[in-house]
A and B are shown apart, each in its own frame.
Chain A
């Protein structure tokens, strides 16, 4: 079984400041890692994913995340946020083939960007 911990339920930040949203996971098998964003009253959309290879992955809207296997983390970063980045962010994992294939989501981090 897998579990995902998003350490911060809410992250307030000022516009143009950098931000990091933290994600740690626990799994007995190797996993694929994802970050999704949910804007108000919408479904989730994929920001980026890590499958293999380079541990630094770049996604849409200027976001990037770094996979750290030893720390079982997949933190999301953006060097300069905009008001429009205000949303709920979800980290998710899926076990590699042989597992259930069902994504497990963290509890989400609410990013609030202030002007």
Chain B
């Protein structure tokens, strides 16, 4: 009964390839996020969706494209992978509404992407 699940857990690929990471949450949350964690453990927000609508798009190369088919899913597609894309990518979700900002984030267990 994983609340936020990401697949795959590990992804090893060559430079220039296109890959996708899938995320699903069964918590009924309206808001989902993608974070990138670099080798020094720094967590940086990439995208945030609220009810399938993009609300935050930080300075991320346009090779990264999030897609939210419904509010329970937020997938991350990456084109033309580069060495610098190697990192751990975390999906997260939180409830929206009046208490938005007060609620904790629920994180998936991460996808470790290695670009060779």
Q: Which residue of A lies closest to B50 (CB)?
A: A101
Stretch from A13-21, A69-77, A78-86, A103-111 contacting the other chain: A103-111
B56 with A43: CB separation less than 8 A: no
Q: Mark A56-98, 1 if CB is under 8 A from B, else 0.
A: 0000000000000000000000000000000010100011110
- We find that the number of chain A residues with CB closer than 8 angstroms to chain B is 28
Contacts of B110 in A (CB 8 A): 41-43
Contacts of A108 in B (CB 8 A): 41-43
Contact check: which of B41, B44, B56, B90 meets A88 at CB < 8 Å?
Answer: B41
Stretch from B11-19, B60-68, B69-77, B96-104 contacting the other chain: B96-104
B101 with A44: CB separation less than 8 A: no
A11 touches B (CB below 8 Å): no
B48 touches A (CB below 8 Å): yes
Shortest beta-carbon distance from A92 to chain B in Å: 8
Contact check: which of A42, A44, A90, A97 meets B100 at CB < 8 Å?
Answer: A97
A32 with B90: CB separation less than 8 A: no
CA distance A96 to B48 in the complex (A): 17
B109 with A42: CB separation less than 8 A: yes
Total number of residue pairs linking A and B with CB closer than 8 Å: 58
Shortest beta-carbon distance from B30 to chain A in Å: 12
B108 with A43: CB separation less than 8 A: yes
Q: Mark B17-56, 1 if CB is under 8 A from A, else 0.
A: 0000000000000000101000011111100100000001
Contacts of B109 in A (CB 8 A): 41-43
State the B residues within 8 Å of A (CB). Answer: 4, 33, 35, 40-45, 48, 56, 90, 92, 100-102, 104-105, 107-110
Query: Could you list 17 further interchain pairs (A-B, Cβ under 8 angstroms) beyond the known A42-B109, A44-B90, A102-B56?
Result: A34-B104, A41-B109, A42-B110, A43-B4, A43-B92, A44-B92, A46-B104, A49-B102, A49-B104, A100-B56, A102-B48, A103-B45, A103-B105, A104-B45, A105-B35, A107-B42, A110-B41
Question: Can you offer 10 A-B residue contacts whose CB atoms are under 8 A?
Answer: A32-B102, A43-B107, A43-B110, A44-B105, A88-B41, A94-B102, A96-B101, A97-B101, A105-B44, A107-B40
